[in-house]
Amino acid sequence: MKINVPTVHNEARLGDIAKTVIMPGDPLRAKYIVENFFDEYTCYNNVRGMLGYTGNYKGVRLSVQGSGMGIPSMGIYSKELFEGYDVDNIIRVGSAGSLSNDRASKYAKDVKLGDILVARDVDTDSNFGISSGYEELYPIASEKLLNILLKIKDNVKVGTIFTSDVFYKDKEKLIEVSQSDVMGVEMETYALYLNALSAGKNALAIFTVSDNPILGEFIDSEKREKGLNEMIEIALELAIKCEKEEMI
């Protein structure tokens, strides 16, 4: 479907948003990215405080847009970007929880605080796919974006991420999830990947492991900032390559 813009959620006009968008969940992280990494930028959206910016990073025009928390919010903003603003690539940057515990599978047990994860595919407990008419689609990352990323950074952990509808999930339920071949848990990527597949566009999600909700562990603020900056830099380099490839 084609979505008319501006929308009730995004006041940007056609042409205001670049073909490649970096998408953190927190709109203030979008602000942090442009303030700390971009040479220049303008704000194209402030509706509901969901900040969106377009600017210049190393001579390349890119956008950064918050998605909000959870599948419903990501479902709205990513769909509007793909099908209203004709965005080709969305690169999600966010935090994920490790599910490492004594009863976990090898994949879950190997994930440490501070690791950088990349979601090749997604498992979930959400009915978003059915409700959206996407039940025939399998939520996977863009092979194109994943291959480019692995040329930039080949020591990230790539695998399955679990997207949960519930933040304060029962620990026994999380342990059950950890016994399957998953790397970690978060709340948005399932919607992003399904919207990308439906629109014939590209999406990839990159995470810094910030906590372990089963064991109650968290990385300290200094390590968190360092890990987030590393993830952001990887995403920005990936975005540059996407944009340069489009210009060839």
The residues annotated with a catalytic role in the active site are 211
What dihedral angle (degrees, nearest 10) is formed by the CA atoms of 39, 44, 47, 52?
-40
CB contact at 8 A, 175 and 136: no
Distance CA 41, CA 221 (A): 27
What CA–CA distances, in Å, run from 21 to 89, 157, 161, 217, 227? 6, 22, 21, 31, 20
Query: In this structure, which long-range contacts are made by residues 217-222, counting pairs with CB atoms below 8 Å and at least 24 apart in sequence?
Result: 217/98, 217/113, 218/113, 219/113, 219/114
Task: Classify burial at 80, counting beta carbons within 10 Å of its beta carbon; exposed 0-12, middle 13-18, buried 19 or more.
Answer: buried
* Residue of 206, 177, 186 lying closest to 108 (CA atoms): 177
Distance in angstroms (rounded) separating the CA atoms of residues 225 and 48 = 26
- Collapsed DSSP state (helix, strand, coil) of residue 24: strand
Task: Note if the bond before 24 is cis, omega within 30 degrees.
Answer: no
Reduce the DSSP state of residue 119 to 3 states and report it.
Answer: strand
